[in-house]
Every structure is written in structure tokens, then in C-alpha cells.
Structure 1
């Protein structure tokens, strides 16, 4: 019975201790406390989650033209192997993904479907515009039925230029997105 009363007293005492003294609650050894303060970084939960999210993207390929064949198949090749960065193979459903890769020409007839698929993605979600057609309409931009850039429909986080972009360019774009999600300045050259 004394054990229970003692633990209740301990819980009550710990609840009175200020949040800034959490390390002191664990130990009274001054050396351990100083070392723990040096090594332990307390961060907001969202920052910790974004650190994990940056290494576990689930891409959804919205392939509309040649970029879908040329650009989206290459990163799965063992030569580039984007799985080593935590980016798993393309998902077939927007509900199972957090990154939409738009590759190819977006027509006015296809635009509502793209927006609907974007809205079906769970939060947080990001978009990569891949290829000249997705970025600005490509060589078909003067046609009456082509949307001059997917950013007119959904917010775009990373642009991967090229016609079609090389697989390493898409991997570069994914790494830029990782840096953006994790909230750190990119160490990857933008040249």
C-alpha cells in the first residue's frame, strides 16, 4: 500500500516540475544532465514528422504522354533506384500517396480529373511537375485545348524540366522536395 501512495506522490511531484526540467527528472548526475542537454534536441512534433516524411514519399504518377514512359520508368531502374532514398514504387491510387508526379500534356478535358485526384490525396501532399508539357504546355501550348502548366490547376512544389527529363533529373527533383518538406536549405545545386 505504501508503494502505491509513494508512486502517487511521485507522480504529483513530477507534474509540478516545470517542462524545462524534464532531463533533471530522469537523473541527478550533473555530468549526465549536461551531456543529455548537449545531445538531446527537443523539436516540435511537426518538424520530427516532416523529417520522417522526407524519407518516405509514396508517389502517384499522373502520366499523360511520353514523359510518363520515359521519365517515370527510369527511377525504378537499379541504376537510379529511388527506393534507396525511401521513395517506393508508384502507387495506383491517390489515396495511398502523398506526392503526385504530373508528367505530360494536361488538356482542358483532363483538368477536372487531375484536380479531383489531387483532392483525393491525403494531407500533407505535394506535386511535382515533370517535363516541359506539365510545366508550361510544351510545344502544344498554343493549342486551344492545352493547359499552359499544371500550376494553373494545383499548387506545384518542384519543377523538373526536360523533354523528357532524364531519370536522374526526376530523382534530383525528389531530393529537392525532400529538402523542402524537411524545412532545410537544399544542399543540392539548382544549376
Structure 2
């Protein structure tokens, strides 16, 4: 199971919270309740635009997470800056932290996030078994 840390900054955070609700029940797909502490998390879901002022906070939280750790960039703003192409907004969180999975959309539906979590599970399984070949 993954223990995600909520890092919702804009509209995508609403969809991320909806994915945790009973209608979608992400725990069926191996993702438990959102954690408020990075030290209890192994997955960071960055949802929404990240400003230049928020970038050091994002990196600090990522550094506090125990290994192994993974990052999902949820939404166009987290992936590439979205429609906010200006000096104040990062043009993708991969400038600050390594991103494992990108979930496209503005905002992506909860099904998109669930698909991203399942893709991350598959990626982790393939990496674990690849070192034994």
C-alpha cells in the first residue's frame, strides 16, 4: 500500500479529494488515506500550480519523505505550468523534484488519478523484478 501526502494547491486538489471519497474508493487500488506528514508518506501527489515561493517548501517536504518515495504530478499545471506561463509559476514540478507519473487534464477526473496510481504500482513492480533478472 502507498501512503500519499496531500499537496493540493489549486483546482486539482478538489478532484484528488473526490478520488478518496466513497464513490471512487482509492484504497481498492492500494492507496490508503492521505497523510499530513511527509515522514509518514511514500507518495507525493502534487496537484495544481506551484509558485516560485512554494518551490522550496515542496522540495523540503520531498526531502523529509523516507525512501523509497515517488511523485505524481496531477494536472497540467503541475506537469508543465498549464495556462500560467509567467515568471511566478514553475513550468512543471519536475524542475524541483523527480516525477514518476504525470496525470494529464485541467483538472483531471478522479479516474485519471486512479489510473496514475495503478500505473505507478505497475512501474514499481516492474522495477523491483527487473533487478532480479
- Is 1:66 the counterpart of 2:11? The answer is yes
Among 66, 69, 87, which residue is 1:144 paired with?
Answer: 87
Instruction: Indicate yes or no: 2:93 matched with 1:155.
Output: no
**Runs of 4 or more consecutive aligned structure 1 residues displaced over 3 Å after TM superposition:** none
Is residue 76 of structure 1 aligned with residue 30 of structure 2? no
Q: TM-score, normalised by structure 1?
A: 0.65
What does residue 101 of structure 1 align with?
45
2:36 aligns with: 92
1:15 — aligned with what?
Answer: none
TM-fit CA distance, 1:167: 0.1
CA contact (8 A) 2:29 2:114 kept: no
Give the Å deviation of 1:80: 1.3
User: Does the Cα contact within 8 Å between 2:43 and 2:69 map onto a contact in 1?
Assistant: yes
The alignment yields a C-alpha RMSD, in angstroms, of: 1.0
Structure 2 residue runs of 5 or longer lacking an equivalent are 128-133
Greater share of helix = 1
Q: CA deviation at 1:79?
A: 2.2
Higher RCO (CA < 8 A, seq sep 6+): 2
Highest Rg: 1 or 2? 1
2:131 aligned residue: none
Q: Distance between the aligned counterparts of 2:126 and 2:89, measured in 1?
A: 34
**Deviation of residue 85 (structure 1)?**
2.1
Do the aligned partners of 2:16 and 2:110 also contact (CA within 8 Å) in 1? yes
